[in-house]
Amino acid sequence: MISILVVLYILLIGLAAGCSLASYRLRQRYNLRFLKTYHIFILLSFAYAILNFIGEVFVPTVFSRPSESLAPAFMIVDLITIPLLGGLFYFLFSWITRLLDRPIPPSLRAVFWGVEILFLAGFMAVFISYFAHGLTTVSVLGFYLLNTIILILLISAVFILVFVKPAGEDPDRRRLTRGLGFVYAFSFALLGLILMLPRRILFQNPSIAGSIPAGMIFLVNLLALIYLRRFLGSRPAFLAQTSSETRSPTGLTRDAGISAREREIIQLVAQGLDNREIGIRLFISPKTVKNHMTSIYAKTGARNRVQLANRLNRPGGDAET
């Protein structure tokens, strides 16, 4: 039985490596801010999946003991995976925020960090309670609290993707956010359905029963990556330019208070793109690009694109004072 699980584990790690490479290539090809954060989210997702598979499948199979006697081992694995899960949710909402290109209201930011602190504090309370007093009512309630918080965060992420309108007027960005929302809703619902199935009745072997939900975690991001790759495949690439092709805007914008979005636009202006083409690359409307250009001119002192490009290409990239 162990050999079968090893083969399955190798296949799942291969899937994790393939998906991680796919997200990295998307990040490199399109150079969009939300893809950079999404790549980190993918890496953390698979790190969690790998560790969870060890704790939920390998540990019970190798030691072949009742679940009660393995509880300390499970808690030690959780000591690694639960904080990792907290970081995972941070990057989940970070890439969603960047995809929507909207600032987070301070009140919502405070709520999120409150939930994160409650999640980690709840785990530590369960961890300390178990090793001090064994499996008690406090431990059980703590586990229910953690699972409830996880469910609320997942539902919130899907709700934001489906119902919150992105900034700007680009319909493609709206289609992308809603599409990803529906894809993740399907993936999370399928995972939840599998968790609720009476696996011990369908599969008499506990190792097989435990490997199904642990293996499904590896597949949660697969459909989203496929959707994202197909959606972006019809759009032009936005490859980062090398220093020989265009000078970095860092020097030009160092003291001008230029935002990250404006840096992206300056780089594309240096490549000779007009407002419409920049909008296509960045999933924003030409009107939004125009507004950013007005802000860039005001901050850098350039009067037009030619002056902006000349200042960008000047040695040191510094604007005139």
The per-residue pLDDT for 321 is 31
Is 210 found in the same domain as 119?
A: yes
Is 164 found in the same domain as 93?
A: yes
pTM: 0.75
Is 258 found in the same domain as 137?
A: no
Whether residue 51 lies inside any domain: the answer is: yes
pLDDT digits (tens, 9 = 90+) for 250-307: 455 554 577 778 888 888 887 778 888 888 778 777 888 888 888 888 887 788 887 7
Top-confidence range, 79-83, 137-141, 158-162 = 158-162
* The pLDDT of residue 125 is above 70: yes
Is 171 found in the same domain as 23?
A: yes
Q: How many CB atoms sit inside 10 A of residue 130's CB?
A: 21
* The pLDDT of residue 181 is above 70: yes
Is 257 found in the same domain as 229?
A: no
Whether residue 156 lies inside any domain: the answer is: yes
Going by C-alpha positions, the residue among 259, 270, 277 that lies closest to residue 302 is: 270
Whether residue 290 lies inside any domain: the answer is: yes
190-223 b/e with 16+ CB inside 10 Å = b? ebeeeeeeebeeeeeeebbbbbebbbbbbebbbb
Task: Give the count of domains, the chain.
Answer: 2
